[in-house]
Amino acid sequence: MYFAALLARTEDGWEASDTELDNVETLADLADLARETVGEDETAVVLIEQEDAWFGVVRVDGEDDPRVFISNAAVATRSSYGTMLTDELLGHEESDTDDLDALNLDGTEDGEPDQGEDEAEDSVAARAPHGPLGDAQLLEDFGIDEKVLLALEGDALSDIADMIGCSDLLEAVR
């Protein structure tokens, strides 16, 4: 079970909204969604978690590239939203030509398992560290330094929201 919320830092303080990720396929899509929600010069923080297995934080400041932190990259690569975040950090970018090159018509279209897909997933998971990945300093200006972010466990999203002063808003959209 996933939960995603978007926290927007505005002139009036924090605003929170439940974020639907069904149409989000890439980190760029997620950044665009966050930018649509906040003003040009405002900050958006997207919090994503899969139960207690892993959590991710994506920070979008205006038109700057998004900054990403994932609590456990190896575990995150086993989920679609986690893969969306880890692919960018691990340098795996998919393109249409990759899809065409990977197309293998050796009988797998008849319902036989495609060993190539499993190997590709294993390769991405093998490159992912068993632990944190990304920019652990992305929330420092909100009072959450790297050491604190790296130590979070359990209900980390609530802890983050509490530390930046918007736990009531996060709980309202949960």
pTM over 0.85: no
Sign of CA dihedral 167, 10, 18, 45: negative
13: left (phi over 0), alpha (psi -120 to 50) or beta: left
What's residue 52's pLDDT? 83
- ∠ CA 126-130-134, rounded to 5°: 95
Residue 121 reports pLDDT greater than 80: no
